[in-house]
């Protein structure tokens, strides 16, 4: 190994197995560059180990259900309860038992870039995905709690197959399917986490479209939440068709135009 250059060793280490005997040989190479490569390799292995451990924790509920004979486990989550504008969006996602995506977690804990990346992977690898959406006007009529449940039920009905068990984030639904409600489920169940990402990216993309249709409110940045820019937009431009008029402070503004 001593006749290899630092760059050659670095390239070799990119694909080397964890217990490869060459690693032991490298430990006897006193070159600082080689030792830094070893340290970097060890950090990479530790990161991969933690990712697998974290992922294993997130599959606890799914694995338990698979052992009980359930195969089509749907994770269900929603996004958009709190915004002043836009719909509430729910997603139902059924994953294959061998699904693996390191780093997948509650969408709120992920960067936008990571959410977009995982969104594409989930779409490609999921067994089935269903989306449910309730618009602002109906939210005003039936209230946000009922709208959230309705969006979830729509998401389930829009799956291209019938689930045999539901894992739901902090909600109970009237359905013919057995279910379990999990508090903070998007950080405890891989299926709910996947649904969280699908719902979040779907809604964010829609709000970016609304930002073009209704400029001046910053919908592409705030997703309809009550930021300063959004409130200033309400002051200057009034209420749009996608605003929730039953929500304060929207209901306190006079309708303009």
Q: Which residues lie across from 78 on neighbouring strands?
A: 90
Report pTM.
0.85
- The pLDDT-based confidence of 244 (bands split at 50, 70, 90) is very high
Q: Could you read off the pLDDT of 124-181 as tens digits, one per residue?
A: 999 999 999 999 999 999 999 999 999 999 999 999 999 999 999 999 999 999 999 9
| Mean pLDDT, residues 208-229 taken together | 97
| Mean pLDDT, residues 84-92 taken together | 98
- Taking 80 as the threshold, does the pLDDT of residue 25 lie above it? no
Cα radius of gyration (the chain) = 24
Buried b (16+ CB within 10 A) or exposed e, 199-219: bbbbbbebbeebbeebeebbb
- Taking 50 as the threshold, does the pLDDT of residue 198 lie above it? yes
| Mean pLDDT, residues 61-68 taken together | 97
Range in 4-8, 134-138, 216-220, 234-238 with the lowest mean pLDDT? 4-8
Can you give the pLDDT at residue 162?
97
- Taking 60 as the threshold, does the pLDDT of residue 222 lie above it? yes
Can you give the pLDDT at residue 257?
42
Do the Cβ atoms of 81 and 148 come closer than 8 Å? yes
Residue 137: burial class (beta carbons within 10 Å; 0-12, 13-18, 19+)? middle
Mean pLDDT of the chain: 91
For residue 65, what are the contacts with CB-CB under 8 A and spacing of at least 6? 73, 165, 167
**Cα separation, 253 vs 22, whole angstroms:** 70
Can you give the pLDDT at residue 140?
97
């Amino acid at each position: 190994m001593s006749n290899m250059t630092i760059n050659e060793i670095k390239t070799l280490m990119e694909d080397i197995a964890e217990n490869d005997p060459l690693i032991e040989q490298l430990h006897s190479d006193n070159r600082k560059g080689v030792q830094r490569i070893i340290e970097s390799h060890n950090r990479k292995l530790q990161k991969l180990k933690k990712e697998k451990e974290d992922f294993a924790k997130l599959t606890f509920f799914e694995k338990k259900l698979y052992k009980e004979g359930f195969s089509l486990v749907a994770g269900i989550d929603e996004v958009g309860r709190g915004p002043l504008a836009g719909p509430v969006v729910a997603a139902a996602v059924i994953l294959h038992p061998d699904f693996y995506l390191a780093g997948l977690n509650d969408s709120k804990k992920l960067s936008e870039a990571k959410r977009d990346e995982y969104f594409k992977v989930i779409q490609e690898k999921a067994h089935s995905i269903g989306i449910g959406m309730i618009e602002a006007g109906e939210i005003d009529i039936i209230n946000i709690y009922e709208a959230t449940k309705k969006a979830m039920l729509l998401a389930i009905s829009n799956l291209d197959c019938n689930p045999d068990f539901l894992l739901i984030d902090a909600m109970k639904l009237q359905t013919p399917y057995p279910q379990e409600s999990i508090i903070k489920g998007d950080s405890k169940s891989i299926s709910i986490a996947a649904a969280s990402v699908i719902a979040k990216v779907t809604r964010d993309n829609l709000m970016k479209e609304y930002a073009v249709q209704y400029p001046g409110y910053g919908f592409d940045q705030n997703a309809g939440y009550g930021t300063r820019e959004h409130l200033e937009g309400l002051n200057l431009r009034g209420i749009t068709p996608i605003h929730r008029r039953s929500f304060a402070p929207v209901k306190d503004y006079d309708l303009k135009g």
